[in-house]
Structure formats: C-alpha cells, structure tokens
Structure 1
C-alpha cells in the first residue's frame, strides 16, 4: 500500500492516459533511483514510474528515445505509453512520470544464480551490445563512471566524514577512511588516461534486476534505460559481473561464454578496462552520498558489496587472473 498523496498523484497521472485505478497502487520492491509502482487499472496492469526530482529532463527523454530505438531494432523492451496528447513523459505536481505496460515475469536473484542462469544473462548482454553497436552515438553522453576527479572525491569524503561518524557504523567509518587513504596514496590515476578506448552505445545499467524473464525462461523485457550512454563494451560487461556477484568461477566463465555466443570483446580493451574499473570504483562515492547526504535508504544495501569489490580489485593477482579469463572466454 502507498500513501494517500501518492495515490492521488497516480490517479491524476493516469487520467492523462485515459486510465482509472481499480485498486490501490503497490510500490515495486528493490527500486533504487526512482519510485516504481504496480497499478491495476481499467486498461490492465500498468507500471508507473515517478522520477527523482534531481533527474534532468534531457536524461528522461534520452531513456524514452533509447527504449523506442531498441524496440525498433528487435530488443525486447516495455514501450512507454503515450498520453492523450501523444507524450511519453508527463509532469504532475512538480514531478515527472512515465507509464508503461506491466511486464509479466521475474528476474534472476543476485547471489543465487546458477551457471546456466549466468550464461543466459551473459547471452542477453551480448545480444544487447550486438544490436546497440548500430546505434548512432553522436548525441549520447559518456558513462559518468568513466570520468572522475581525485581531488573532488577526496573533498566529498571529507564532507561525508561527520555524517558517517554520527550515523554510520564502525564498518562504514572504516570504509570512508580506507577509501580516502587509497585516493591520497598516489595510486589514483586521472580518467583521461583511459579515454582512448573504442566506444559504443550501451544500456548503461545492465544487471540481473533489469532483465525480466518470462515463465518459459525467455527474455520478456530489458528495462530501466535511464543510464543509456556510450562506453567501452568491456567496461559494462565488467561492471555487470561485478554488480551481479559473478566474479567467481564457474559463474564468471559461464557469463562470458554466453556473451561470446552473441558477440565478442576487443582484446586490446581488457587490461585497461580492468584498471579503469578499479580506478572508477576507488573514486566512486555515489552510494555513500545518496545515503548520508540525500537520505536514500535503498543505497545502503550496496555498502558491503562495494567494500568487498574494492578489496578484490586492489589485488594485482586477482586483476591478472581476471584479465586472463576475459581474454580466454569473451574475446
């Protein structure tokens, strides 16, 4: 169940789509950067998304355009519905909303995936990259995770310090301290050193929660295109296997084999991608900022994963072994 004010706002939004509520809206669990609702209406079950106040209009419009392009080029997506004025974004009570059909199905579960599931998800990722390789990248932004500034990250960590001391636990205080020590140790490298890798259009946030699987095991839809951007494909693949907790064998090789069935990675990008991911993670303060400064409780779930990942990628032997696996399985 959701609050009365949200229910009233959703009713107002649905009127623009010629729809009325049949039951109280239900908040979709696991939403991190937007509020997502399952809504029963006279037009069937709908997915209603309320964007965060900080989302720029051009980023929301880019997501809508990405979905339309993907659909036109054969990728399974959930096409946003148009209002009675023909718009796929609607402003209501100072917030932006979109509405799309509800996608029936489920997702793989992070930390519970079998090698067969990992291989299937990797194949979906490979197919997505193969199709998106034809997308014109002229107007797309680069992945923001590939642009960092050491001094800026250190300043953010300094700002976070008092908040973490007051409201964090010992593990979070240790993490902030360790991250700052790494950035000030001399191993941080400027993002400009990694700017020469070949780029293409990518989903931007490919992971298990954004791939809906139907009851037959087929892909029902690839969802949440809000981070649509250009980047080296290998960077998004490494980001995916890191986020989905597939860095250990046999899951890693299974994912990469699935990817390789659909397309391949440029072998010259593997080692620089691994170092770029290490540097990006070292500089990244997103989850901490969102939790301690923006008040978003959903990002706290990622703290332990991020700490473990940082530890892993600062191990040179692990990075070397990871590169060997990528070169063997995905190139």
Structure 2
C-alpha cells in the first residue's frame, strides 16, 4: 500500500514530526536551542550540496541556455502568475494565511535531487537537469525573498526588509554551498565513501525545521484554525494547480521544438517546487509569522509532486526501453 501511494520513509517521518509537534511541541528556551541546532544542520546540508555538485555537469548543462530559460520562466514567472491569479478563489477557500503559504510555494525554486533523479529514470537530459535545477536554487535565494516582500509581507502589515533577508539567506545557504564547491576536491572522496551522509542531513534538517515550525504553530493554535475541510480543500487546490502546471510543462516544450530528452528535463525541473530550500527560507523570511500555516502547502504539494512524477518517470522509462 505504501509503495502504491509512493509514501517513502521520509514522507512517513514528516507526518510523524507533525503528529509529534501536535502532542509534544517544543517551546520556550528549548525551542531557541533547537532553532540554533537546526540552523547549523541547514548550513552543513548546503555545504554538502555544494561539495556534491559536479562542475563538469554544470559546465555541460550551461551550454543549453534555452532549456534553462524555459525552466526559469516556469519556476519564477508562470508559477507566481498563476498563484496570484488564483487569489480570488483560494482566499475564500483557504483563508489569508494558508493562501500566503500557497503563494510562497509558488515563489520557491525547483527541486534539485528529485528533478535530477526523475529525469535520469525517464532517460532525459540529466546534465541539463543538474544545471537547471541547481541554477534555480541559487537564483531563488535572491528572487524568492524579493517576491515574498512584494506580494506577501507587503500585505501582512509587518515591516520587512528584503535586503536583510537576502543577506541572511546568503550567509546560511549560499556561502556554505560555495564553500562546498571550493572544497569539493578535498571532501568529495569522503562523501563517496559515506553516500548516506547528504541524505541524512537533507532529510534530517527538514524534519527538524518542520517539527520546530509546527511546534510553534500548535502553541499558537494551528489546529483550531485549520479544519478537516480546509485541509481537504488545500490538498485539492495543490492537485489542480500541479495538474495545470504539468500540462503546460508537457506541451509548451513540444510546441517550442525541444527534443525528447530536453522535454523530460524541462517537465521535471519546471513543474516542481523545493521543500529542502523552502522550509529554511520560510524560517528566515517569516519571523513572527504563522510558520506552520506557511509551510503546510509546500509540504502537501511536495508529496503530491513526488507521487505523480514517480509514476510518469517510470512510464517514460518503460516507453524508452520499448516495454510499452
């Protein structure tokens, strides 16, 4: 049943963190200490991401600028435009704070690991996917705070300086990433001997942030604000939104004349949003805001996109190998 639903161990642990935060939320001084540990784990995670990324793959992928331009347009133009257009429908359905979370999800960069993995399974342009997804995450460290400042925090009546947030994100995410790239010749061989270390930090840091975010949200009365019907409507909204994006990501590259391998890379990189970078960014951008409500849409969207992309990638893999 779990295989059928594409519920891996990480997804189950995410659910466990939400349940644990509901039953035993961390608060007070313990929450402050937990926040410092979480921040350190996120910095180590992005250092490992920088050390893991192959420069050769990046250089090869950079040559295909048309592919990256289209993925960029999907990620930072189409997603936000559709999210803003959906406001008159979503605010009455979900409420203002959950809509902010939904819109924040639209402003996030693409995923890295899963975009590359799904493109590889589907026998698409892996080098292009590596470069496009990585570029999306690096650029997103600057674009996402600006979009959030204009379209979310500008409406929330809280003072917000995007420059300060960009500096914080640069120090927490980009600097460790660049440091990892610089030190890659010295640390990559050790990472190959311990292949699970990136996965542990990747998943572990997200789980820690989710637990901390939902703990503070539960203390603030999250589950009194989000009913079962609201949760159902959020899942429905994410599903419909993903369907629209995926249909466009499927047909637009065909109309533009991209080859089959490039179409697959564009589809997987252009239709997905990152939980790994999104949750740490939310922690910086939404200080004093209802963080649990903000990250709930991306958590739900993330699981739906993994389930759907897994099915499509396997279908295309069988199609390419002549098994269909």
Answer yes or no: same fold by TM over 0.5: no
Task: Kindly indicate whether structure 1 or structure 2 has the higher relative contact order, using CA contacts under 8 Å at least 6 residues apart.
Answer: 2
- What TM-score comes out, normalization by structure 1 length? 0.29
Q: Choose 1 or 2 for highest CA Rg.
A: 1
- What TM-score comes out, normalization by structure 2 length? 0.29
More helix by share: 2
More strand by share: 1
